[in-house]
Amino acid sequence: MDQPITETTEKPMYLTREFLESQLASNKTRIDELEKHISVVTQRSYGLAAEHNRMVEAMQEWTFEAIEAGTLNESEAQEIADICGFELTKEFELEVEVQYSITVNARNEEEAQNLIHEIDFDTVDYSSDSVQYLSSSIERVSI
C-alpha cells in the first residue's frame, strides 16, 4: 500500500532587526560571562598547581631530612617519593676543571698541536694511533 505523499510547506520566518540585536547582545553577554569564568578557573588552576608544587617540594625536603636523621629508611622514603611524585635525588650543577697530560708522536710542534685539536675532549674520544698516553686529573670541583 502506497501512502500518499504530503507536502509540508514551511512558512518563511522574518526576523526583525530588534530581535537580531537583542540576540546578539544576549550572546555577547554570555560570551563575556564565559570568558570571565574561564579566567577565574585558569587562575585557580595555576594557584592549585603552585600549591601542589610547594607541597611536593616540602615533602621531598622533609623526606631527605628524615633519611639523613635516620627516622626514615630507604624503602619508606621511596614509597613517599612514589606517592608524592618526586625522585629521591637532587639535581646539582657542578663546574669541573680537568687537566690532561697527553703524549703524542709527531714530526714537529705544529703537527703535535694539530693532533690535540682532533681529540674530542667532551667524550675523551681519541681514535688517532698517534696518541700514546692520556691521563687526566680533576683540579677543582665547585658546587
> What pLDDT is attached to residue 67?
96
Over the stretch 26-61, which tens digit does the pLDDT of each residue have? 999 999 999 999 999 999 999 999 999 999 999 999
> What pLDDT is attached to residue 96?
74
> What pLDDT is attached to residue 28?
96
* DSSP string across 97-108: EEEEEEEE--SS
Are the C-beta atoms of residues 74 and 67 closer than 8 Å to each other? yes
> What pLDDT is attached to residue 125?
65
Task: Report d(CA 47, CA 37) in Å as an integer.
Answer: 15
Q: Which residues of the chain have pLDDT under 50?
A: 143
